[in-house]
Amino acid sequence: MKKYKFIRFASLLICTAALPAQSGIVTVPSIYAKDTGRGFSNYIFTKRYPVHSQWIYDMKAFAPGTSGAFKSLALRRSGALSNLCPQATADVDITLAVGTKTGRTASTDFSKNRGQLSVHVFPTAKVNLPKAVYKAGVVPGWSVVIPFKKPFPFSTRMPKASSLVVDIRISNYTGKRTWYVDMARGRFGKIETVLGRFPGNRCRFSNRSASGAFGLFYSPVIPGRAFSFKQMGVPANIKGLVLLSPAGPGSKFGNATLPFSLSFLGAGTCMLGVRPDVSVPTKGGGTWPFIKIPKDQALIGGSVYTQALYFDAKANAAGLVTSPVIKWTVQEGSPVPGTSIFEIKGKVWKRHYIPIIGLGR
């Protein structure tokens, strides 16, 4: 399959905006102090069953030299999906421990992951979970703060310490829907749909399918690899162009602000949301070309916006349909620094993601 080179010039890169850290809170993993996670879990706050889990954070998940007496644990809603997190309560029990195992070597036998230092910081009590609304492009705040009954002394320099273990039991959750906690996964590229719907769903192909953010993402978005997208609902014989630019929604294109409606052309409610700086041809049926990223670490943190313009003569008077706008951010390709272990109804398993937590000092 032919690959198109990632366009390397300064204007094609957008550095991630730095957001101020919240005072008194140590974010773990530390790299998510200014960024939202790209995952969520159905196995933490759920009405279906009580959950016993361990969240294991490797020492490299902490900023170098982190130390102090932790006095609270904070959680925030997922930034990876737009579902409403409902107001609810749950019974929570927390023990913190310094572990001798890493996320990679952790056992599904919970007792083997705790080291000698183990403190029952929060005996079983009811915790309030407020309603938390998704806000696109915004790092979620610490919605849930659980104050400890006992402090937990910690330092990344502790001898023979390989991890921090959060042993947590949750039961009697009252929400009608899941309260999705923000989760950290491996950093293999950040993909965001920043314009996924068009007014009235009247941006449609000739087969009457509405153009929307449904499709398959091909990644990772890391130096030396390539990414692509296949949009669902596009007629098999329809081709077009994929636009690439550092300028997406909110940017200027001439005197106009992106996105803007193409209704003046007769294209229904389709919108242009990417400045047409660079374009590459699509394949039929909504399959985009693979965009090759040079193997250059200097590209980490850079972003590019993409949007396809499909030429569908029978779709509308303009014969033009636009795709969603997708923002791709290059990451370093590192695995998640830890793991989660869940026990539900007697079954135990590991997952390669961990909740993003805040530890108060």
d(CA 268, CA 273): 15
On whether the CB atoms of residues 22 and 142 are closer than 8 A, the answer is: yes
pLDDT (tens digit, 9 = 90+) per residue, 280-333?
999 888 999 999 999 999 999 899 999 999 999 999 999 999 999 999 999 888
Which residue is listed with tokens 């949750």? 170
CB 182 within 8 A of CB 332: no
pLDDT digits (tens, 9 = 90+) for 124-141: 999 999 999 988 778 999
- Model confidence band, residue 181 (pLDDT cutoffs 50, 70, 90): very high
Mapping DSSP to helix (H, G, I), strand (E, B) and coil, where does residue 92 land?
strand
319 residue type, one letter = G
Distance CA 189, CA 187 (A): 6
Cα separation of 273 and 255, whole Å?
14
pTM: 0.67
| C-alpha to C-alpha distance for 185 and 119, rounded to whole angstroms | 27
pLDDT digits (tens, 9 = 90+) for 36-85: 887 888 889 988 789 999 999 999 999 999 999 999 999 999 987 878 99
Q: What is the DSSP string of 53-64?
A: EEEEEEGGGSPT
pLDDT of residue 36: 84
- CB-based contact 283:233 (threshold 8 Å): no
Local confidence band at 12 (pLDDT 50, 70, 90 cut-offs): very low
Report whether pLDDT(208) > 70: yes
pLDDT of residue 213: 67
pLDDT, tens digit, for every residue of 150-173? 999 999 999 889 999 999 999 999
Can you give the C-alpha Rg of the chain in angstroms? 23
Q: State residue 352's pLDDT score.
A: 87
Residue 221: phi and psi, rounded to 5, are -100, 75
- Indicate the pLDDT class of residue 21, thresholds 50, 70 and 90: very low
